[in-house]
Amino acid sequence: MIRTLIVDDQTMIRVGIRAILEAQDDITVVGEAENGRLGVERSRSLRPDVVLMDVRMPVLDGLAATRALLEPERTEGHTPRVLMLTTFDLDDYIYAALQAGASGFLLKRASAERLIDAVQTLAAGDALLDPAVTRDLVARFVAPTGWPAAAPQEPRLAGLTSRERHVLHLVAEGYTNAEIAGLLSLAESTVKTHVKRILAKIDARDRAQAVVVAYRGGLMYPDGGT
């Protein structure tokens, strides 16, 4: 059973998400919180597998709450997976939340099936990045006035082959393994192998962390190459 915690300041959103999740045989909602501070407290006491975290909330926003939840010195042997929920396709919190350790992003307008799949994906140890979110984020990075400023080259990218850099670029744009396989005319199993090797080479826990490395290393800028 996948234990989940819903953190959102809107009651109707929490009620809707709870109804969707609790209709599943393999998911249970162990609690709710209306702001980030309560979310952190209840996560530590209830020990959920997945925390569904709103981005913009009073008292403590989703970014600060995610960072607090995932501080190594304060996890006490329990590190939940954090799924960030956002109303906006483009949100200034997204890159920082990836840095803070969030394992997934999903737009609140996503279908019930997509939400369920996201929770199951994170609980299984993988990451989920909504293409609508990641591709808009990339657009911000490559725009002349985009943010953050170009980072120094990430040394962990140096060990990647040209093909692996291309695959990582597509991962960071939000493409699934199946979509990457189609774009590169490869078998999906081959793409999975590439992704696995990339994660090992750059010492990334999952696809979300790999995206951060790609951004930091300038791979998503026009001069970063693929």
Domain ranges of the chain: 2-138, 150-224
Q: What is the pLDDT of residue 28?
A: 97
pLDDT at 135 over 70: no
Rounded to whole angstroms, how far apart are CA atoms 197 and 90? 30
pLDDT digits (tens, 9 = 90+) for 175-201: 888 889 999 999 999 999 999 999 999
User: Confidence class of residue 26 from pLDDT cuts 50, 70 and 90?
Assistant: very high
The total number of residues shown for the chain amounts to: 226
pTM, 2 dp: 0.70
Q: What is the pLDDT of residue 29?
A: 97
Rounded to whole angstroms, how far apart are CA atoms 47 and 75? 10
pLDDT digits (tens, 9 = 90+) for 118-128: 999 889 877 77
Do 35 and 63 meet the contact criterion of CB atoms below 8 Å apart? no
Do 62 and 55 meet the contact criterion of CB atoms below 8 Å apart? yes
User: Confidence class of residue 76 from pLDDT cuts 50, 70 and 90?
Assistant: low
Average pLDDT, the chain: 82
By C-alpha distance, which of 186, 97, 82, 182 is closest to 134?
A: 97
Q: What is the pLDDT of residue 131?
A: 64
Q: Determine the Cα angle at 170 with ends 90 and 223, to 5°.
A: 85
Q: What is the pLDDT of residue 95?
A: 67
**223: which residues sit within 8 A by CB, 6+ positions away?**
none
pLDDT at 65 over 90: yes
Do 128 and 110 meet the contact criterion of CB atoms below 8 Å apart? no
- Residue 149 gets which letter from DSSP? P
pLDDT at 205 over 90: no
User: 2-138 falls under which CATH superfamily?
Assistant: Response regulator (3.40.50.2300)
Do 175 and 183 meet the contact criterion of CB atoms below 8 Å apart? yes
Largest pairwise CA distance in the chain? 49
Of the chain, the percentage scoring pLDDT greater than 70 comes to: 79
User: Prior bond to 148 cis, omega within 30?
Assistant: yes
Q: How far is CA 132 from CA 23, 107, 172, in A?
A: 26, 8, 12
Give the mean pLDDT of 153-182: 86
pLDDT at 170 over 70: yes
Rounded to whole angstroms, how far apart are CA atoms 222 and 24? 43
Q: What is the pLDDT of residue 42?
A: 95
- CATH for the stretch 150-224: 1.10.10.10
Do 45 and 19 meet the contact criterion of CB atoms below 8 Å apart? no
